[in-house]
Structure 1
Amino acid sequence: MTDPTALTRLCPPPQTQPAPIDWGRIEAELDMRLPEDYKQLAAAYGPGSYGGDYITIYHPHGVTLYVNLTGPMSSRIREYLQRDYDQGTYPVPYDPQHLFAIGGTEGGQKLFWITEPVNAPDSWRVAINEDKGSRWFTYDGNLTNFLVAVISGEIDNLPFSNLLGLPACFTPSVPPPFEVGDPPMRAPVDTEDIRNWARANGFQVPPRGRIPRQVREAWEQAHPI
């Protein structure tokens, strides 16, 4: 199901129409297709938090790097998970390369898309884990339905009690005042430009799919903001 009606009835979106989103540019920058339910969710609500400002979903117009869909958080979280996965620090039930962080909670949990199969984003499920702990929960449905299930209390086996009884409301994000030291946003980059640069500088990169983290980091170091 991709229709956000169940969520908008339960948790009305802002009356002010959010700014339009260039999905072609966003998907090109991420180098992957996105689920249709997420696109409808992001277009209807804009950046912000659900359940009394408790669940934040990353958005293409996120007001800081840390809540922006194309910001650094997903790759950083995946790096931490990969380390835990390799070292066995905390059990990770999925290959971290198939987890894409899509949000988080005030209680420290992280929300993920399980990006399998990678070319069928509308079939991606949602996973949530606790901060620095071993508990995971997998929701067999899309992100929009997960929000409906949590806010309405439909999920009766969720291991995180702080996600129970959330108010049915949405809080739009307010851009923070810019402060010296805040990291500037990098302009969107065509991933093919990164691939061409990488090949010219001796890196091995796949012709399609995600660009390896070390390659993207090397490109960013060579092209400072």
Structure 2
Amino acid sequence: MNDLEQLKRLCPPPANRSDQALPAWESVEQGLGIRLPDDYKRLFEEYGPGSFYDFLSLYQPQSLETIDIEVQTPKILASLEKRCEWTDYSLPYPIAWLQPVAVTDNGEYVFWVAETKSNPDLWGIAINEASGDDWFTFDGTITAFLRRLCEGLEVPLFPDSLLERPPSFRSSSYTPEDWRRAHAINTAPDTGPVDSEDIREWARSQGYDVAPRGRIPAAIRDAYEQAHR
């Protein structure tokens, strides 16, 4: 039994998920400039938008702005960079390795540790303390982490009372289909501003996969702009 099947046994997903529209994964990955782990895609397809324990919410494709993975990724990484610049805060990994995957109600960010962009299925997990300098790491996928959490894994950064209640998943009413109705996805080729080559060079130095020509993903443009403000 794999991690997803064990997670479903411990914390059943919502019923009738097969009736829901699935994200346009190719568009999401183009927007982020990376390939996402397969287990994350299967996890989202099984559970959909929502939160575990009414506490931990996955960043989601094509969702509300506050939890949209494309919208939040550059904002979170820019915030980390500024914190490192303005204080003595240090990261346990290069910032180019960190890709947000979830957030807690207390403000902890859950990151993939994307040491190798070419094989996202090997990414581990790192969680930063919301109001301190501590980090928690987990050697496994986001699905494996959630499965272990439901089995009683103690994460020192999380509230002591979290595991006193049984595992649960609460669905959000907002779906990728709602997002598609509210947004016109622009797939037109990028004509590129004057500094497009600068953006590409910066993106490569930060570990992003970016094509030598054509449309630069919006998430990479946003990250570049945040880094050069």
TM-score, length-scaled by structure 1: 0.78
Task: Work out whether 1:203 is the aligned partner of 2:196.
Answer: yes
Task: Work out whether 1:28 is the aligned partner of 2:30.
Answer: yes
Residue matched to 2:133: 134
Residue identity matched to 1:32: I
3-state DSSP of counterpart to 2:196: coil
Task: Work out whether 1:19 is the aligned partner of 2:21.
Answer: yes
Residue matched to 2:157: 160
Residue matched to 1:182: none
Does the CA contact (< 8 Å) of 1:48 and 1:173 recur in 2? yes
**Deviation larger for 208-217 or 2-11:** 208-217
**Deviation larger for 83-92 or 17-26:** 83-92
Does the CA contact (< 8 Å) of 1:103 and 1:110 recur in 2? yes
Q: 1:2 to 1:218 in 2, by over 3 A?
A: same
**Deviation larger for 138-147 or 23-32:** 23-32
Q: Identity across aligned pairs (percent)?
A: 33
| CA deviation string 1:9-30 (max 9, x = no partner) | 1111110223222212221222
Q: Runs in 1 of length 4+ with deviation above 6 angstroms?
A: 212-215
1:2 and 1:88 mapped to 2: Cα distance?
A: 42
Paired residues in the alignment total: 204
1:171 and 1:121 mapped to 2: Cα distance?
A: 27
3-state DSSP of counterpart to 1:138: strand
**Deviation larger for 139-148 or 26-35:** 26-35
3-state DSSP of counterpart to 2:69: coil
Residue matched to 2:221: 216
What does residue range 75-86 of structure 1 map to in structure 2 within 5 Å?
A: 75-86=74-85
Q: 1:187 to 1:139 in 2, by over 3 A?
A: farther
Which stretches in structure 1 are left out of the alignment for 5+ residues?
176-184, 221-225
| CA deviation string 1:91-138 (max 9, x = no partner) | 321111211111111122111111110111000011111113101001
Q: CA RMSD in A?
A: 3.1
Q: 1:152 to 1:139 in 2, by over 3 A?
A: same
Deviation of 1:161 after TM superposition, in Å, equals: 4.1
Alignment counterpart, residue 52 of structure 2, candidates 41, 44, 50? 50
Residue matched to 1:4: 4
Residue identity matched to 2:55: Y
Residue matched to 2:39: 37
| CA deviation string 1:19-78 (max 9, x = no partner) | 222212221222211101001001111111011x1110011142x1111122x2111110
Greater helix fraction, Structure 1 or Structure 2: 2
What does residue range 103-182 of structure 1 map to in structure 2 within 5 Å?
A: 103-153=102-152, 155-156=153-154, 158-162=155-159, 164-165=162-163, 166-175=165-174
Residue identity matched to 1:57: L
2:209 and 2:104 mapped to 1: Cα distance?
A: 29
Which stretches in structure 2 are left out of the alignment for 5+ residues?
175-181, 211-215
Does the CA contact (< 8 Å) of 1:113 and 1:125 recur in 2? yes
TM-score, length-scaled by structure 2: 0.77
Q: 1:118 to 1:16 in 2, by over 3 A?
A: same
Residue matched to 1:74: 73
Does the CA contact (< 8 Å) of 1:90 and 1:133 recur in 2? no
Deviation of 1:172 after TM superposition, in Å, equals: 0.6
1:86 and 1:2 mapped to 2: Cα distance?
A: 41
3-state DSSP of counterpart to 1:81: helix
Does the CA contact (< 8 Å) of 1:85 and 1:96 recur in 2? no
Q: 1:167 to 1:218 in 2, by over 3 A?
A: closer
